[in-house]
Amino acid sequence: AASKLEISMPAVVEVEVGGTARIECNFYLPENASYTYIDWFYVDRSNRQVRLYHVTASGVLEDDTDYKQRLSLGEDKALSISSVTVQDARTFMCQVAAGSYGMGENSTELSVYKVPMTPEIEPNPAGISVQSSDVPQIARCVSKNSFPPPNITWHKNGEQLHARENQVTMQSTLTRESSGLYTVSSTLYAPVQRQDRHSRYHCTVHYWLRGQRHALDSRGVKVNVFYPAEHLKLKVVSSSALVKEGDNVTLVCEADGNPPPVFSFFKKNVGEWQDLSSLAEPDSGVLTLHHVNKSSSGTYRCQSLDLDDFTQKEDDVDLVVNYIEGIHVKMEPSSTLREGDSVKLSCDAHSPVGLKYQWRDEKGKKLAEGNQLFVSNLTFETPNTFSCKVMAPSVPGLEQSKQVSVAVEGKPRIVSISSPLYVRQDQVVNLTCKAIAFPLPKVQWSINGTAHEYRDNQHIASNLTVRVSHDLLQAGAMCRVSNKLGASEKHIQLLDQKSTAESQGVIIVAIIVAILVVAVLGAVIYFLHKKGKIPCGRAGKQDITKPEARKDKIVVEVKSDKLSEEAGLLQGANGERRAAAEQVGRSDGQRL
């Protein structure tokens, strides 16, 4: 037990803005003593004590203060303050009276804090030139809603920056918001060099909490540094290693300055430079040459102009376009060719690289390798179009072709006619005559009608539309094809479809009759065998269970039934010849 009145309170209580602060007042009395009252106070800005509670054995009295809605008193007489604000950062006192033991008091400092928000950093949006005469602004950092006010430090590539006169400066401002919280901002000024285009900057806000130092880092940012170009390079970009005619070629001019300089393109032509800048993509350093050819070869130049210090640089590159030109095909003999003749085709071309030759027909089928092709025993059917394909093996994709037509002359040959042709009298039909010849022949018909001709190279086809007359049906038609080398003709036979149909009907009837006769004979043999009339290897055996007359009767009836059944089946299978089939059935039944 204490020998006198003692009061114990924490020196400092820390609480975050918006939280609840609990301040304890622990007092100790001598044995058998009790307190008379307990009073709680806070010290205002005028250093005046303002009472909050008066506690006696008979009850608790809460004074009318600004805290009245946020205060509460625990059973242990501890004071609680809810919804703490920054204005609550002050001294709170506990006073205890114990009669003859006197009165004692103690105090606690309420410390209010608010963790700052993560700092926001913004780099200089305009960019910084390495040639700037003033120390430029690098970035600005802002940290909001903190209490008490924090401080900001700057870092470059992970290392803290310190102020240096005329080199690195940091300007900070502190703003107290209406909420009582603080916003702190800091601006970094420092010179930059070319290598700072890769540097990263960030800021850090530092604050104290429960006696310990804490920190929050911003994101890292890079600064847009402007510097003149030190190197310039012009290069050729193509889809293949070796450029060939027909390719699209891109000339790319690259400079290591920022911003990129102004580029100009030129081509050397007979000792002077031709300006190609108007063909380049604006502000890109890219010149695209579409479908290059032999004349595109030459020396190209890229020239750069730095607008910051007006320095110029240039670089040249040679463009070599591989090509094939002057393809020529020679035919020997060059005179007119006839069927059975032979011909030699020779192909030649010019290129700065080695060439390879190949011959193909009009369907693309490979015929031979080399620059010569021999074709013997020429006919109309021989492909009359040949292609000489010239390739450059060292330049993939570089190839050209030239076609040559070989005309083989000869008298016409009729290759197809529509004969025989089944027709009916008065029917309108098409008569067809196809031939092959060169020079192209003339087609003549022996009869009148409407003719249509179709020509394709050495082939000719004639369609004659006519109405079938009695005379035409008897005589047929003649197709005659002729040119200056001779003529050929063939006869088209027309057959009457009606007569053919009647002949076919007679044949069908004969076949049906034969089938019926075979069916009836088969039925008679089968039933005679079943009744024992035909021994079939059982000589001497007879059925003795029935009279002879009865057996004969059964045989006759079964045959008759079978005949009717067969006739019915045949009638169903040949509905179009039903009357004839029934007549044959009745005739066969009578013969039985």
What per-residue confidence (pLDDT) applies to 277? 92
Residue 159 has pLDDT above 90, yes or no: yes
What are the distances in angstroms from CA 244 to CA 321, 356, 544? 5, 16, 110
Q: What is the mean pLDDT of residues 183-194?
A: 95
This prediction's pTM: 0.54
Q: What is the reported pLDDT for 544?
A: 34
Q: Could you report the per-residue pLDDT of 55-101, keeping only the tens digit for each? A: 998 899 999 999 989 999 999 999 999 999 999 999 999 999 988 88
Distance, in Å, from the CA atom of 96 to the CA atom of 9, rounded to the nearest integer, reads 12
- Of 53-62, 442-451, 559-568, the poorest mean pLDDT is in 559-568
Do 17 and 177 contact (CB within 8 A), yes or no?
no
Greatest alpha-carbon span in the chain: 163
Which domains are assigned to the chain? 7-113 (2.60.40.10), 117-226 (2.60.40.10), 235-319 (2.60.40.10), 325-406 (2.60.40.10), 410-496 (2.60.40.10)
**What pLDDT, on the 0 to 100 scale, is given for residue 540?**
40
Q: How confident is the model at residue 532 (pLDDT cuts 50, 70, 90)?
A: low
**Per-residue three-class SS string for 425-483:** CCCEEEEEEEEEEECCCEEEECCCCEEEEEEECCEEEEEEEEECCHHHHHHCEEEEEEE
Burial string for 455-490 (b: 16+ CB within 10 Å, else e) reads: eeebebbbbbebebeeebbeebbebbbbbeeeebeb
